[in-house]
Structure 1
Amino acid sequence: MAAIRSADPAPPIAVLRQRADFLRAASARRKGMPGFLLQARERRSDEPVGPELIRIGFTCSKKLGNAVARNRAKRRLREIARAVLPEAGRPGWDYVLVGRPETTATRDFAELKADLAAALAVIHDLPITPPRPRKPRGKK
């Protein structure tokens, strides 16, 4: 019996490693959820990264706890991303998941997955707004 394959395979997913990529995602769209903060941006067409690629980054600050707690939170974030991004993520986008204390402590795994799917839906429905111009600093 042959395995049934879908006509539309899941887009490839890569992990963000460069600090500049994290900063670019942080300056775009955000959606806070109880277990994490989702930051996302749509890549420009002139960037060298392939347009069919979904990229994801994970980060947890020391506010979350010791190294054991931070690593556990990142493992949980990686798993929800692995489960949700192939269906709900969009190719050509960068996503960063920032862990919160609820990621490791009290949040159920199924709730985290539902939160990520909801956050992605909100992020993708938001209109693209140009960055606000900064006010010039005056000398004191």
Structure 2
Amino acid sequence: MRAQNGVQPFSHHCRVYYEDTDAGGIVYYVNYLKFMERARTERLRELGYAQSTLAGEGLLFVVHSAEARYHAPARLDDELVISADVIELNRASLRFRQQVRRAADNQLLCEGQFLVACVGAENLKPRAMPQTLRAAFAEPLGAGLSEAGE
């Protein structure tokens, strides 16, 4: 299934702390990936699923591939808004489009796409998402989903 345009993305707010920056007070590039991971985790939590509970049920989400583009630096004490928009939903994977923006001026700082696979905790092999979880990801997208040849 593929999501179409016009859907309001989920967003998560966070602050840039000293530990997130280099000596010049600029966010170290890999920390944007951490910010985006947190937004995906919070998106899951908002849908009523905690990763710790899913792991206890033998289900994990792992990043299969990541792509990031950096546009402008975030700095110490900036408030960031991180989106986590599901743009593709398959039987055992999700593709997220994410953006990191500075809250004060809505400046795009970093954007990326992440293919996240659902795997069994015991063998780390692909596993179909439970239908209730898959439906929870699809629901906010509503009519914005169309079949993509699963």
Q: Normalization by structure 1: what TM-score?
A: 0.31
Q: Which has the higher strand share?
A: 2
Q: Normalization by structure 2: what TM-score?
A: 0.30
Q: Which has the higher helix share?
A: 1
